[in-house]
Structure formats: structure tokens, C-alpha cells
Chain A
Amino acid sequence: MFSYLDAGTGSMIVTAIAGGVAGIGVAAKMGLQRFKSKFTGKGGQESDAGESSDGDSSSHD
């Protein structure tokens, strides 16, 4: 009822790594996206229009 879920990138990457061979590529790609985003400021948030991030696209519950 009040369960708290943090679907953060960190846990997602680890979920993929924990899948072993099957998940390692996925984990690497997620990590890579995050790495890119450090430089471009938007790599982590896919945006077809290429808009910059202003923090409003983070909705999950």
C-alpha cells in the first residue's frame, strides 16, 4: 500500500548484470547511455526531438 519503489538506473543495471550472459549486453548499453549523458546532458533521456532535459520527464510511480 505504501511500498516505496525506486526504479533507479543503478538497480536496473544490476538487474541486467544479475541475469548473467543474457543481461550483460543490456547492462553495458545502459551504462553507456549514462556515460554519454554525462557529456551531452541528455543521453539518459531519450528524446526524439533532441530537446534538452529540464527534469520533467522523470515520471514513474
Chain B
Amino acid sequence: MSTARPGTEQPGTEQSSSEQRRAALRAEMEARVQQQRQQPLPAWLAARGNRRALALVPAATFTVGVVAAAVDGETLGVLVMTVAAALGVGGILLLRRTTRMLDSAPDRLLDEREISERDRAYRRGFHLTLALLGVLMVLAVVDAFLTKTSTVRLFGGDGWIHLVLASFFTVSMLPAAALAWHWQAPADDLDD
């Protein structure tokens, strides 16, 4: 029979208390997410036209990233890339707000309709990611061809770093953008 000295904890007890802490943290985080999801949307975000315009932010981010990669001069490139990053971060925050964090909320907070909507958005996001990889491949081929045949380069200096960063921001937004594009406004609660 083992006896624990006062002040010392059995390994099993320590593990279960850390699990409890983790579970409490998770529950707190989920409650916060749920609270945010239930907040009413501002009118300008609820409008279909604005939502669709917002869904185009990933395309704008990628375009600015291509410009950042293509411009001459390192400082200018970094400046343009900062704009792309700001578009990316702002875009993802707004898109998540518009779609009530459907793309990032834990499964336990979603019902079957929301889960199926989210899965459809991820499928669309995957196809868009493939398209973006295709664009990157074309750019890489053109860049390699130009490097071999002429003195002109499509992307100089840190160009490809900017392009990869912009692609990262763009791909992060795609599921939320797909959700925002196809978002259906919920029925008005007033007609209960």
C-alpha cells in the first residue's frame, strides 16, 4: 500500500488536474466563440452585395502580392507586401465575422447544416487552392523561361518570398470567402 507524503501529488492526479484545466480552458474558449457567433451582424456586413465584395478580398490580396513580387526595389516590394498582408489579415477577420466563424468554429458548436455548409466551403476552397497553385506554376515556368532566354526576370530579389506569403494569406481566406459568397441570410426571427 503506497502512501503519498503531504504536499506531493500522484502522477495520475497531476495528469487529471491538467486535463481538467485544459477542458476548462477549452470550454471557456468555446463559450467565447459561441457568444461571438451569436452577435448580430452590422447591416453593412449583412448585405449580400457587400458580402460578395468581401469574398473577392483573397483575389485582391494575391494580386497585390504578385505586384509586390514584381516591383523593382526591395523597399517598395516590402511596402507593397505590407499592403497585401494588411489586406490578408483584415480580410480574414471580416470574412470570419460575416460568416459567423463558420470556417473555424469547433464542430461541437455547429449543427449538421452548418457542418455540411462548412464542408462544402472547404471543398470549394480546395479547388480554388488548386487553381492558385496552377497560377503559381505558370508564373514559375514563365520566370524560369525568361531567366534562361533573356536578362529580364519576372520576379527579382525577394519576389518569390512575397509571392509565397501572399499565397499563404490568400489560401487562408478561401474557405471563409467561399462561405461569404454563397451565404444565405437566416430567416428573420421576428416572424416567429
Are the chains A and B members of one assembly?
no
User: Which B residues lie at the A interface, using CB under 8 A?
Assistant: none
User: Which A residues lie at the B interface, using CB under 8 A?
Assistant: none
